[in-house]
Amino acid sequence: MHGMRQSELFTKTRKQAPKDEVSKNAQLLIRAGFIHKEMAGAYSLLPLGLRVFNNIVGVIREEINAIGGQEIVLTALQNPAHWKKSGRWSDDAIDVWFKTALKGGGELGLATTHEEPLTALMSEYVSSYKDLPKYVYQFQTKFRNELRAKSGIMRVREFVMKDLYSFSRNEKEFRTFYEQCAKAYEKIFRRVGIGDITYRTFASGGSFSKFSDEYQMLCDAGEDVIYVNKARKLAVNKEVYTDDVLAELGIAKADLTEEKAIEVGNIFPLGTRFSDELGLKYKDEGGKAISVVMGSYGIGPGRLMGAVAEALSDEKGLVWPKEIAPFKIHLLSIIGSDETIRGEADKLYELLKENDIDVLYDDRDVRAGEKFADADLIGIPTRLVISEKTVSAGGAEMSGRKNGPASLVSDSAVIQKIKGE
Ligand code: ATP
Ligand code: MG
């Protein structure tokens, strides 16, 4: 669907966010009608928000397909048997489990992550060195009983994760893919508009390996503290910020500045932790059984949407980068006393749609000031205004959300101008 009349959109902008909403991203997204707050840590996506979310998913999907990812969807319901094998069924191992008792006895969990079921699943398909390497990913719902849920859609109790898992024959093959994925991540963060404020960050490898890599976006509302070297475009998470680690990484303390940040993605070596426990092995050329070397790679598209809202918005409202904006063009008709303007605006709307340009058309009968304020709040990157003034000058006025000077574009040039942007 390329066009939408704002008069038909069921959501409306509002002046105030709910009183209990403390985060900037959710306040703006609620006021602009992108999301609905159901309760703490649980939000619903509305038409405008879903469009942004789907655009982010589209960018991630393209880049992960480009490095050989095969997309699947695993069930969110978790069979305790797999998790007992890895020792992660207990609340001591994963403290954010949502679990539920089954009516007929037994219990199940809601997925916090998917290493266990996918490793078990892959063991039914992988048997020989010829079956590897393989890269499998999904956009799938995770449930986490997070203690604090005060960061709007950046930390919620139910969220979609892009989780990718790599299955390699050995450490070298694994590392090659790991670096390919790091490059894909950099492209993703650039395309969604936060490339220049997002840092590959050395972080703890947890129980799996010495280090992992986090992608941290600088942000005052972030819950992580990182030490950044802007010139080298790298950072170190506070949790591994020790003299020993800095020496190992060849980074001097004096070249780092402390910043607050939010993790938007991570890549994680898993070694053979899960393949050992869940029996994922392959036979090498000599027929010897060897555990598959694994990695996991996560990005939360919803957190990314919140992070963009948090970092790029201004005092007037949201500011969407082109690739993920809900619409490319916001067309505003300013009717005044001349009803023929409505016809002119309708014509331009039809022209944009015919040319496959995503357009939100503010055709409502409201004051000009209200239309402009709403357009600022919604944050679509390019605005086209049709009024008596522009029609008598032979076109529409075009401007950027960040208030670049408006320029008159003639009706005949408008499509080319937009496509050339
Ligand atoms: P954090 O330290 O912020 O809790 P995490 O280490 O638990 O993150 P992972 O388990 O590695 O995160 O999840 C991968 C990605 O999923 C994160 O980089 C983030 O983008 C997203 N994510 C994680 N937890 C949440 C959440 N509660 N709400 C929304 N997105 C999340
Ligand atoms: Mg977490």
For ligand 1, atom 16, the nearest C-alpha belongs to: 300
Q: In the listed set 252, 280, 312, which residue is the last one of a domain according to the structure? A: 312
- Cα of first residue to Cα of last residue in the chain, in angstroms, is 21
Examine the domain organization and report whether 39 and 156 are in the same domain: yes
CA 157 to ligand 1: nearest atom? 27
Which DSSP helix (H) or strand (E) runs through 393?
Answer: none
CA 146 to ligand 1: nearest atom? 27
Examine the domain organization and report whether 134 and 250 are in the same domain: yes
The answer to whether residues 141 and 158 touch, using CB atoms and an 8 Å cutoff, is yes
Instruction: Determine the distance separating the centroid of ligand 1 and the alpha carbon of 174, expressed in angstroms.
Output: 23
Examine the domain organization and report whether 257 and 361 are in the same domain: no
Dig out the tokens for 228 from the structure.
């950044």
Instruction: Determine the distance separating the centroid of ligand 1 and the alpha carbon of 300, expressed in angstroms.
Output: 7
Examine the domain organization and report whether 240 and 97 are in the same domain: yes
CA 268 to ligand 1: nearest atom? 11
Across the strands, what pairs with 268? 296
CA 262 to ligand 1: nearest atom? 3
For ligand 1, atom 28, the nearest C-alpha belongs to: 155
The answer to whether residues 415 and 355 touch, using CB atoms and an 8 Å cutoff, is yes
Q: CA separation (Å) from 345 to 48, 189, 421?
A: 22, 36, 21
Q: How many domains, the chain?
A: 2
Pocket test for ligand 1, best of 207, 303, 305, 310 (most atoms within 8 A of CB): 303
CA 300 to ligand 1: nearest atom? 20
Examine the domain organization and report whether 101 and 237 are in the same domain: yes
Examine the domain organization and report whether 272 and 152 are in the same domain: yes
Examine the domain organization and report whether 399 and 357 are in the same domain: yes
Examine the domain organization and report whether 307 and 335 are in the same domain: no
* Structural domain contains residue 319: no
Pocket test for ligand 1, best of 57, 112, 115, 142 (most atoms within 8 A of CB): 142
The answer to whether residues 207 and 268 touch, using CB atoms and an 8 Å cutoff, is no
Instruction: Determine the distance separating the centroid of ligand 2 and the alpha carbon of 154, expressed in angstroms.
Output: 11
CA 214 to ligand 1: nearest atom? 18
**Structural domain boundaries enclosing 197:** 7-312
Examine the domain organization and report whether 62 and 168 are in the same domain: yes
**Start-end of H helices in 67-138:** 80-86, 115-122
Question: Can you tell me the distance from the alpha carbon of 70 to that of 148, in angstroms, rounded to the nearest whole number?
Answer: 34
Q: CA separation (Å) from 298 to 27, 118, 162?
A: 26, 14, 6
Question: Can you tell me the distance from the alpha carbon of 245 to that of 71, in angstroms, rounded to the nearest whole number?
Answer: 36
Across the strands, what pairs with 77? 110
CATH number at residue 410: 3.40.50.800
Side-chain half-sphere CA neighbours of 337 within 13 A: 0
Question: Can you tell me the distance from the alpha carbon of 328 to that of 358, in angstroms, rounded to the nearest whole number?
Answer: 5
- The pTM assigned to this predicted structure is 0.97
* Structural domain contains residue 1: no
Would you state the pLDDT for residue 207? Answer: 67
Instruction: Determine the distance separating the centroid of ligand 2 and the alpha carbon of 107, expressed in angstroms.
Output: 23
Would you state the pLDDT for residue 148? Answer: 86
* Structural domain contains residue 81: yes
For ligand 1, atom 3, the nearest C-alpha belongs to: 263
**Residues whose beta carbon lies within 6 Å of some atom of ligand 1:** 113, 144, 146, 155-156, 159, 161, 263-266, 298-300, 302-303
From first to last of the 421 residues of the chain, give the pLDDT tens digit: 689 999 999 999 999 998 999 999 999 999 999 999 999 999 999 999 999 999 999 999 999 999 999 999 999 999 999 999 999 999 999 999 999 999 999 999 999 999 999 999 999 999 999 999 999 999 999 999 999 889 999 999 999 999 999 999 999 999 999 999 999 999 999 999 999 999 999 999 876 678 999 999 999 999 999 999 999 999 999 999 999 999 988 999 999 999 999 999 999 999 999 999 999 999 999 999 999 999 999 999 999 999 999 999 999 999 999 999 999 999 999 998 888 999 999 999 999 999 999 999 999 999 999 999 999 999 999 999 999 999 999 999 999 998 777 899 998 899 999 988 7
* Structural domain contains residue 100: yes
* φ, ψ at 309 (rounded to 5°): -60, -40
CA 149 to ligand 1: nearest atom? 27
Pocket test for ligand 1, best of 185, 263, 267, 270 (most atoms within 8 A of CB): 263
* Structural domain contains residue 294: yes
Across the strands, what pairs with 262? 217
Examine the domain organization and report whether 152 and 294 are in the same domain: yes
Q: In the listed set 269, 286, 312, which residue is the last one of a domain according to the structure? A: 312
* Structural domain contains residue 320: no
Examine the domain organization and report whether 295 and 394 are in the same domain: no
Examine the domain organization and report whether 295 and 356 are in the same domain: no
CATH number at residue 26: 3.30.930.10
Would you state the pLDDT for residue 208? Answer: 67
Q: In the listed set 281, 312, 343, which residue is the last one of a domain according to the structure? A: 312
* Structural domain contains residue 321: no
* Structural domain contains residue 349: yes
